Amino acid sequence: MRCLRIESALVFAVLLGAAGADEPAANEDQLEALSLLESHYANLDSIDSVDVSITTTRSRFSVEKGIWEDVEVRQRLVLDEKNQVGVLATLQKFVGTRERESSEDSRSRVVIAVRDGGRAATRQFPEAAIWVSLAERTFGSVAHYPDFRFLGHYPFPISAGAISPAQVQAALKVSRTAHSGMTYSLLPQRKAAIVFRDENHPPDIRLGKRVFDLESNQLESVRASGWVRSEKKMMPKLVEQFQWKLANDISVPVVVTGEQRKSGIGPDRKRIVWNEQYDISLRWFAVNSELKMEQSPTDFLDDMNKVLQFIEAKGMKEITRELE
C-alpha cells in the first residue's frame, strides 16, 4: 500500500474546525473551550529543543484486497532549530504487503538526516548521502521529523514540512478561534468535550471531538467523523488517545494510540479503503535544555553502526515524571 495516493483532507478539515471570518463573538462555553485549547497548544509551542526516542508500530488492513502491512519504526530526534542542530535517525522494519496466504517478506532500512549549518543531508544506507541547501528550505522539509505543535490537530505524527507555511499559520489560528460550530460540555469524571461541527459542505457533514481531562488540563482523546456516501451514514475517520508526563515542566506525550480510516487510489487506479492502527511510545531525554552530542552529526553519514547505536540510545536517562 505504500504506493497509494492517500486522501486525508476530510480528517484534517474535521480536526481543524470551520472558523469563518464573520463568526460572532464567542459565548461563555466557547470561551471555556478556547481556554483549554489555548493552554494545550501554548504548551506544545513552548517546546524549542528536544532529544526524544520514538517507537511506532503501525498495522494496515484492506478488507477489499485482503492485504495487510505491518511496519515498526524506531527513531531518535535531536533538534534545536534556533541553534541549527538537527539529527533524525530512523530504523524501519517492514513486513511487506501480501496476500493472506503468501509468505512473510521482512525488510528493514536505515535512514539518517542531519543538519550542518546552512545545509542538510539525508542518506538511506547503502546509498550515497544527498546534500541540499537550506537557503530556501527548512530542515523539517528535508528530514520530515514529527511536528509536536499539531498534536491533536492533525493525525499524529504530522511531519514538519508536510504542510506549507500558510497552512501552518491557518491551523494555528483556527486552533484558537471560536466559531458557530463549536460546542463545549462537561462530562463525568472531571472531563470536558469540545465538539466541532461543520455543515458547510452538505451532505459531507464533518464532526470533530476533543476530550480533555480537567484535573490535568491535558488532551485525552480526539475523534473525527464524516459522512460516508457508500455507507450513507456518519462513520469514524480517526480516533486517537494520549498519555502525558512532565519533562522540564512541559507536558509531553509519552503514548499515542490511534486508528484511522483511509482511502486512496491503488496501482490499478481503483479506489481502496483501509484501516490503519498505530501505537506510538516516546522516551524523552531532553526538552528545552542543552543538547549533548558526543560526536558531530555529520559523522553519522559515514557509519551505519553509529546510526543504529544512536537510535538504541543505550544508557540515556529519561527525564519525564508524572503529572502533578
Name the grid cell of 126: 547503502
- pLDDT over 70, % of the chain: 82
Looking at the domain assignment, is residue 161 inside a domain? yes
Residue 222 lies in a domain: yes
User: What is the average pLDDT across 255-264?
Assistant: 87
Element (H, E) at 172: helix 165-174
pLDDT score of 3 more than 50: no
Mean pLDDT score, 181-203: 81
Phi, psi (rounded to 5 degrees) for 112: -130, 140
Q: How many residues does the chain have?
A: 324
pLDDT band of 108, cuts 50, 70, 90: confident
- Largest Cα span, the chain: 60
Structure confidence at residue 299 (pLDDT): 92
Please state, in angstroms and rounded to a whole number, the distance separating the CA atoms of residues 118 and 275: 40
Distance in angstroms (rounded) separating the CA atoms of residues 236 and 209: 11
- Dump pLDDT digits (tens) for 22-31: 555 668 888 8
Which pLDDT value is given to residue 66?
A: 62
Q: Give me the pLDDT at residue 67, please.
A: 63
- Flag whether pLDDT at 174 surpasses 80: no
Q: How confident is the model at residue 145 (pLDDT cuts 50, 70, 90)?
A: very high
* In-domain check, residue 320: no
Tens of pLDDT, residue by residue over 48-101, are: 999 999 999 998 887 666 667 788 999 999 999 888 889 999 999 877 655 444
The pLDDT mean for the chain works out to: 82
Residue whose grid cell is 511487506: 96
Please give the grid coordinates belonging to residue 118: 546552512
- Nearest Cα residue to 319 out of 261, 262, 245: 245
Residue written as grid cell 531525554: 285
Residue 319 lies in a domain: no
Q: What is the pLDDT of residue 121?
A: 95
175 falls within a domain: yes
pTM, entire model: 0.85
Looking at the structure of the chain, the number of domains it has is: 1
Q: Tell me the angle at which helices 165-174 and 9-16 cross, rounded to the nearest 10 degrees.
A: 40
- 160-165 mean pLDDT: 76
Residue 212 pLDDT > 70, yes or no?
A: yes
In a domain, 226, yes or no: yes
For residue 264, give the DSSP letter.
E
Residues 18 and 200 sit within 8 Å (Cβ to Cβ): yes
Q: Rounded to whole angstroms, how far apart are CA atoms 318 and 55?
A: 15
CA–CA separation, 111 and 92 (whole Å): 8
**Helix (H) or strand (E) segment spanning residue 29:** helix 28-45
Does the structure show a pLDDT above 60 at 319?
yes
When comparing pLDDT for 80 and 205, which is higher? 80
Q: Which amino acid is at 212?
A: F
The answer, yes or no, to whether residue 20 has pLDDT greater than 70, is no
The whole domain housing 300 covers 5-312
